[in-house]
Amino acid sequence: MSPRVFRDQGYRSGVEVTNVFRAGIWLLAGRRELFLPYREFPWFREATIAAVLNVEEPAPGHFYWPDLDVDLDIQAIEHPERFPLKYK
């Protein structure tokens, strides 16, 4: 499953991880719910739940997981094929 916007939740500010699933994580950012599959975002696969849940939005559309030192923007989530460098 590709990372995409799956649902429009109506306006909400802030960001939160809403679910940690066996195939990836769900991120609620403003009005959008995004799925980040582990095959595209491998940093989250072995991370603790606490580290995955600790997400910040320092700027609109820019997400930071301080415990994992992972920075992602909305474009990288919605179009990972445009950002081919990955942690191995």
For the chain, percent of residues with pLDDT exceeding 70 = 81
- Is residue 25 pLDDT above 80, yes or no? yes
Instruction: Classify domain 5-82 at the CATH topology level.
Output: NE0471 N-terminal domain-like (3.30.2020)
Which strands, in side-by-side order, build the sheet including 32-37?
5-8, 32-37, 24-29, 15-21
Question: Domains of the chain: which residue ranges?
Answer: 5-82
The helix/strand/coil state of 30 is coil
H helical segments located in 1-88: 49-53, 74-78
Instruction: Tell me the C-alpha distance between 16 and 75, whole Å.
Output: 17
Contact indicator for 47, 16 with CB cutoff of 8 Å: no
pLDDT digits (tens, 9 = 90+) for 46-63: 999 999 999 999 999 999
Does this model's pTM top 0.85? My answer is no
